[in-house]
Amino acid sequence: MSGSLSSVDPQIADLIRAEERRQTDTVKLIASENYVSKAVLEATGTVLTNKYSEGYPGKRYYEGQQVIDQIETVAVERAKALFGVNHANVQPYSGSPANLAIYMAFLQPGETVMGMGLPFGGHLTHGWSVSATGKWFNPVRYGVRQDTGRVDMDEVREIALRERPKLIFCGGTAIPRTIDFPAFAEIAREVGAVLAADIAHIAGLVAGGAHPSPVGHADVISTTTHKTLRGPRGAMLMATSDEHAAALNKAVFPGLQGGPHNHTTAAIAVALKEAATDGFKDYARQVVMNARALAEELLARGFDLVSGGTDNHLILMDLTPKGVGGKPAAQALDKAGLETNYNTVPFDPRKPFDPSGIRLGTAGVTSRGMGVAEMRQIGAWIDQVVTALAKDEDEAKRVIVRVHAEVRELTSHFPAPGL
Ligand code: DSN
């Protein structure tokens, strides 16, 4: 019981080291990923994992909470201060359980939820058919306009007035444009719905002042903590006012979850402290500047970007005009050291497991200190790999080998935080 990981389980230790090397040598362009700091990583791997603490600070179902209560209280207070909310719950295990808690707090099974359809950039838990939220509730959906690739708020209002949802979600996983929280709030008020803003992707941008905040507009805010916010894998629920605090808390525990993951809570607290610094504001701004630079480079190289560009950290590309599917493109880019994910695009005629697009994000590369010049280089590499792939297999193999070597050279100059 006292040996180090490498002596107790060299197999897993080696695999972790291999993943460290892979992350070091790769250009991380997955829009939902990031690198946590050494401090966040350190907090995650602590004895806090040994402790059960069902309940909330001051009201637990296990003894021995002298320290855990303090940690959770610090995390909650930091979340409240950073986002300017009255209530925060830092216990949800991740984004999906956080969103489920919103249903539990406000809806009965069978009642109507309105969210952005998954192929348009929404999330599974916003009422998509294969998710429990689409099976156990009555989902209605909005999307984006085919000509603009953007949400049409008139259409959202029309659907809301017709369907009278009790809960409306705004936000999602593949939205390259600013979310109009005031407009969503007005519609929610008009139909008497609770407005939930899922800011999982943009929480770090909101905290850093690089995206408008839903605070004061949405009744409830859910977010993961590990995307642009650069914390550990976890989630939070927040509310502008105290009105919904009790319902949200009850929904998380005992409604859906047991003991919170205290090592994660501590790491969230550390990440929130980091996100409150001026350095993080610079980071958030740079993430957006980098995404714009990458988008410009890709547009100049003839790529078709959904909505024609980006306002945030995320780019969604339709590869149809390039004659390549999203999946083979993502696989070829991965072999070249450029890590992305294949993604459906709005009105995609192809299947979700073999869609037309890829999704890119700049949170990870910005955490490594890369800037506009590196984005231009990355755009050029993406073009070279995709163009070669469209041409022929041997050409693609040659380009992948060359680009991979160049990627390793570039990444060696930009150490990844925490690694
Ligand atoms: N899987 C996350 C993403 O990649 O956006 C959403 O849950």
C-alpha pair distances (Å), 109 with each of 34, 103, 106, 131, 247: 35, 9, 10, 13, 16
Listed in sequence order, the residues at least 6 apart from 11 whose beta carbon sits closer than 8 Å to its beta carbon are none
- The mean pLDDT of the chain is 97
Per the CB < 8 A criterion, the answer to whether 191 and 214 are in contact is: no
Per the CB < 8 A criterion, the answer to whether 62 and 53 are in contact is: yes
DSSP letter at 415? P
CA distance 360 to 295: 10
Question: Which residue's CA is minimally distant from atom 4 of ligand 1?
Answer: 32
Amino acid identity of 214?
P
* Residue pLDDT, tens place only, 297-344: 999 999 999 999 999 999 999 999 999 999 999 999 999 999 999 999
Per the CB < 8 A criterion, the answer to whether 149 and 121 are in contact is: no
Rg, Å, the chain Cα set: 22
CA 103 from centroid of its chain's CA atoms: 20
Percentage with pLDDT > 90 across the chain? 98
* Residue pLDDT, tens place only, 64-95: 999 999 999 999 999 999 999 999 999 999 99
Cα(91) to ligand 1 centroid in Å equals 19
Q: How confident is the model at residue 374 (pLDDT cuts 50, 70, 90)?
A: very high
Residue 2 reports pLDDT greater than 90? no
Q: What is the pLDDT of residue 1?
A: 82
Per the CB < 8 A criterion, the answer to whether 232 and 226 are in contact is: yes
* Residue pLDDT, tens place only, 142-180: 999 999 999 999 999 999 999 999 999 999 999 999 999
Q: What is the pLDDT of residue 34?
A: 98
Q: Is 54 a catalytic residue?
A: yes
Q: Is 69 a catalytic residue?
A: no
Q: What is the pLDDT of residue 25?
A: 97
Residue 413 reports pLDDT greater than 90? yes
Q: Work out the average pLDDT over 188-206.
A: 98
Say if ligand 1 is within 6 A of residue 122 CB.
Answer: no
Listed in sequence order, the residues at least 6 apart from 109 whose beta carbon sits closer than 8 Å to its beta carbon are 136, 137
Q: Is 233 a catalytic residue?
A: yes
Question: Which residue's CA is minimally distant from atom 3 of ligand 1?
Answer: 32
Q: Name the residue of 128, 173, 227 to mutate for ligand 1: max ligand atoms within 8 A of Cβ.
A: 173
Per the CB < 8 A criterion, the answer to whether 299 and 82 are in contact is: no
CA distance 60 to 92: 16
DSSP letter at 193? P
Cα(327) to ligand 1 centroid in Å equals 17
* Residue pLDDT, tens place only, 42-63: 999 999 999 999 999 999 999 9
Cα(10) to ligand 1 centroid in Å equals 31
Q: How confident is the model at residue 241 (pLDDT cuts 50, 70, 90)?
A: confident
CA 231 from centroid of its chain's CA atoms: 11
Residue 275, token pair as written in the block: 């996100």
Query: Which one of the listed residues 25, 54, 152, 383 is annotated catalytic?
Result: 54
CA distance 198 to 220: 9
Say if ligand 1 is within 6 A of residue 32 CB.
Answer: yes
CA distance 35 to 362: 11
Q: Work out the average pLDDT over 19-35.
A: 98
C-alpha pair distances (Å), 62 with each of 58, 68, 258, 260: 11, 11, 12, 12
Q: Is 250 a catalytic residue?
A: no
* Residue pLDDT, tens place only, 376-393: 999 999 999 999 999 999
Q: Work out the average pLDDT over 198-220.
A: 98
Checking DSSP bridges between strand 112-116 and strand 138-142, what pairing results, if any? parallel
Query: How would DSSP label each residue in 236-281?
Result: EEEESSGGGHHHHHHIIIIII-SS--HHHHHHHHHHHHHHTSHHHH
Listed in sequence order, the residues at least 6 apart from 51 whose beta carbon sits closer than 8 Å to its beta carbon are 62, 64, 68, 262
Number of the ligand 1 atom closest to the C-alpha atom of 94: 7
Angle at 266 between CA 312 and CA 364, to 5 degrees: 30
Say if ligand 1 is within 6 A of residue 95 CB.
Answer: yes
Q: Provide the edge-to-edge strand list for the sheet that holds 87-89.
A: 87-89, 235-239, 220-224, 194-198, 167-171, 112-116, 138-142
Global pTM value: 0.97
Q: Is 103 a catalytic residue?
A: no
Per the CB < 8 A criterion, the answer to whether 314 and 176 are in contact is: yes
Q: What is the pLDDT of residue 307?
A: 98
Number of the ligand 1 atom closest to the C-alpha atom of 173: 5
Question: Which residue's CA is minimally distant from atom 5 of ligand 1?
Answer: 173
Collapsing DSSP to helix, strand or coil, 339 comes out as strand
Q: Work out the average pLDDT over 357-363.
A: 98
* Beta-bridge mates of residue 252: none
Handedness of CA 81, 87, 91, 93 (dihedral sign): negative
CA distance 33 to 365: 10
Listed in sequence order, the residues at least 6 apart from 165 whose beta carbon sits closer than 8 Å to its beta carbon are 112, 113, 114, 140, 191, 193
Number of the ligand 1 atom closest to the C-alpha atom of 341: 4
Residue with tokens 């930091």: 78
Listed in sequence order, the residues at least 6 apart from 55 whose beta carbon sits closer than 8 Å to its beta carbon are 61, 62, 253
Say if ligand 1 is within 6 A of residue 131 CB.
Answer: no
Q: Is 224 a catalytic residue?
A: yes
Checking DSSP bridges between strand 87-89 and strand 235-239, what pairing results, if any? antiparallel
Amino acid identity of 231?
G
Angle at 19 between CA 286 and CA 96, to 5 degrees: 65
Q: What is the pLDDT of residue 419?
A: 87
Number of the ligand 1 atom closest to the C-alpha atom of 201: 5
Domains, the chain: 42-275 (3.40.640.10), 288-411 (3.90.1150.10)
